[in-house]
C-alpha cells in the first residue's frame, strides 16, 4: 500500500484595526482570502504568513485557527489534464501588522473590504462557504468535508 497523497494548504483571513478584511482577486477563483500550499518542511503558521506576504504585500500575525476542511473529491486542475490530489485546508484568522497592498503573480487585485460587505465579492461556492464559517466563528473550529465538483456539496460538518 502506498502513502496517500494530499495537498496541505492554509488560508489567512487578515483583519485590520477597523475590521476590514483583506481579499485578493485570483486568476481562477475570483476574489478569495490569501493562502496556498504549505511547502515541504514548512509549518502551517509560517506557511500561511508567507502566503499572505507573497500574495498581498501584507505582514500579518496569527490570531487563531477557525476552520479545517477536507476536499475529498478527485478532479483535474484548471488545465483540464492534471489530476489534483485530495486537499486538507487550514483557515486562520489573522491580524494586520504592517505593509502596503500590492499584487503578485497570483493576485491581480489586493483590497481591504468592510467585513459586512466581503460576501458581495466572493462568488466561488466553496470559498463563500468558508468565508461564511469564518465570519460566524464563535470560538469553535469548523471541520467539514466536501466535494467541489461537479457541484459544491458539504458531506460532513462539525464544530469542535
Distance CA 62, CA 13 (A): 9
Distance of alpha carbon 124 from alpha carbon 131, whole angstroms? 11
Within its chain, how far is the Cα of 113 from the centroid?
A: 16
* Tens of each residue's pLDDT in the chain, 160 residues: 566 678 899 999 999 999 999 999 998 889 999 999 999 899 999 999 999 999 999 999 999 999 999 999 877 777 888 877 789 999 999 999 999 999 999 899 999 999 999 999 999 999 999 999 999 999 999 999 999 888 999 999 999 9
Domains and their CATH numbers in the chain: 6-159 (3.90.79.10)
Q: Could you tell me if 84 and 76 are in contact, meaning their C-beta atoms sit under 8 angstroms apart? A: yes
Looking at residue 53, what is its pLDDT?
A: 97
Give DSSP secondary structure letters for 2-28: PPP-EEEEEEEEEE-TTSEEEEEE-SS
Residue 26's pLDDT is what?
A: 92
Sign of CA dihedral 107, 114, 8, 87: negative
Q: Cα–Cα distances in Å, from 113 out to 3, 4, 52, 60? A: 41, 38, 16, 16
Closest CA to 72 of 86, 88, 90: 86
pTM of the model: 0.92
Helix %, strand %, coil % of the chain (to 5) = 20, 45, 35
pLDDT on residue 84: 74
Q: What is the pLDDT of residue 2?
A: 65
Q: Which among 105, 122, 66 is positioned nearest to 89, based on CA atoms? A: 66
* pLDDT recorded at residue 101: 97
Q: Which residues 6+ apart lie within 8 Å of 150 measured at CB?
A: none
Helical (H) or strand (E) element with 24: strand 20-25
Output the pLDDT for position 3. Answer: 67
Q: What pLDDT does residue 83 have?
A: 78
Per-residue pLDDT at 96? 98
Measured CA to CA, the distance from residue 130 to residue 135 in angstroms comes to 9
Amino acid at each position: 500500500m502506498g502513502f496517500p497523497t494530499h495537498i496541505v494548504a492554509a488560508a489567512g483571513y487578515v483583519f485590520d484595526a477597523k475590521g476590514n478584511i483583506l481579499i485578493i482577486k485570483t486568476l481562477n477563483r475570483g476574489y478569495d482570502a490569501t493562502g496556498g500550499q504549505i511547502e515541504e518542511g514548512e509549518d502551517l503558521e509560517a506557511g500561511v504568513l508567507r502566503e499572505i506576504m507573497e500574495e498581498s504585500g501584507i505582514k500579518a500575525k496569527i490570531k487563531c485557527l477557525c476552520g479545517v476542511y477536507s476536499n475529498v473529491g478527485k478532479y483535474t486542475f484548471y488545465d483540464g489534464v492534471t489530476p489534483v490530489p485530495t486537499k486538507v485546508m487550514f483557515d486562520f484568522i489573522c491580524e494586520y501588522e504592517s505593509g502596503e497592498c500590492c499584487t503578485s503573480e497570483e493576485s491581480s487585485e489586493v483590497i481591504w473590504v468592510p467585513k459586512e460587505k466581503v460576501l458581495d465579492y466572493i462568488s466561488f461556492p466553496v470559498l463563500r462557504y468558508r468565508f461564511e464559517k469564518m465570519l460566524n466563528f464563535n470560538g469553535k473550529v469548523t471541520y467539514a468535508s466536501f466535494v467541489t465538483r461537479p457541484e459544491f456539496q458539504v458531506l460532513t460538518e462539525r464544530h469542535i
